[in-house]
């Protein structure tokens, strides 16, 4: 019985459109959240670091949705 469950879990498609939209949208949303809250920092260094982190999150979300590297071969190992 446990072999059936494990085969379903290991053989599922992790690169379906719905999966990419949910995970990529979550990353983009996290980037927007971080960028919005970076405005409360008074020092330019803090704002720069937080905005850079927000840009990385949004970029990763976009890459996930569009199936760009590092997500181009995800699940095909």
Per-residue pLDDT tens digits for 2-33:
566 566 667 767 678 888 899 999 999 999 99
How many CA atoms, within 13 angstroms, populate the side-chain half-sphere of residue 53? 13
Has residue 66 been placed in a domain?
yes
Categorize the per-residue pLDDT at 60 as very low, low, confident or very high, splitting at 50, 70 and 90: very high
In a domain, 45, yes or no: yes
Any domain includes 6: no
Q: What is the arithmetic mean of pLDDT over 31-51?
A: 93
Residue 47 counted as domain residue: yes
Specify whether the backbone of 43 is left (phi greater than 0), alpha (psi in -120 to 50) or beta: beta
- Total count of domains within the chain: 1
pTM of structure: 0.76
Instruction: Tell me the pLDDT tens digit for each residue of 66-77.
Output: 988 887 765 554
């Amino acid at each position: 019985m446990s072999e059936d469950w494990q085969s379903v879990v290991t053989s599922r498609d992790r690169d379906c459109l719905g999966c990419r939209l949910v995970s990529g949208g979550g990353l983009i949303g996290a980037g927007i959240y971080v960028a919005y809250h970076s405005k409360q920092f008074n020092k330019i260094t803090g704002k720069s670091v937080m905005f850079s982190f927000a840009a990385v999150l949004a970029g990763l979300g976009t890459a996930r949705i569009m199936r760009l590297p590092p997500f181009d071969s995800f699940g095909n190992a």
